Amino acid sequence: MHILVHIEIHQNVIAGSSRELVAAARQLAGTEGKISALVAHASPDMFKGQIGGVDETVIISDAALAEYNPEAQLVCLNAAIAASKPELVLLAYTSAGMDLGPALSAQ
């Protein structure tokens, strides 16, 4: 199973809920599964190596991602899904996840 985890970043810190999602993804995928993490931020390189437990980090950099922007994050999620074709996408139960989840599922 291939799982894509959306990594939330608040004030240049990876949200704890994103780390929890990575751990849950690992349990769901098992030893044979693949876990990808999506980091969409204006300066994503600063987060390289900070996300343990993933097999791949998908990096998207854009100035529009400097502050939380649900429309821009949705574009990034769609691009990552189209490129990697995961079987499951995990979003945190946060205000950002509540913005992105319904919008993503409606497409």
Among 82, 84, 100, smallest CA distance to 6 is for: 100
List, for residues 12-42, the tens digit of each pLDDT value: 899 999 999 999 999 999 889 999 999 999 9
Query: Tell me, what's the pLDDT at 105?
Result: 86
pLDDT band at 85 (very low <50, low <70, confident <90, very high): very high
In this structure, what are the phi and psi dihedrals at residue 37, rounded to the nearest 5 degrees? Answer: -115, 130
Contact yes or no for 54/35 (Cβ under 8 A) = yes
pTM of the model: 0.91
Q: Give strand pairing partners of 38.
A: 6, 58
Q: What element of type H or E holds 59?
A: strand 56-61
Query: What does the alpha-carbon distance between residue 52 and residue 72 come to, in Å, rounded to a whole number?
Result: 25
More confident residue, 49 or 22: 22
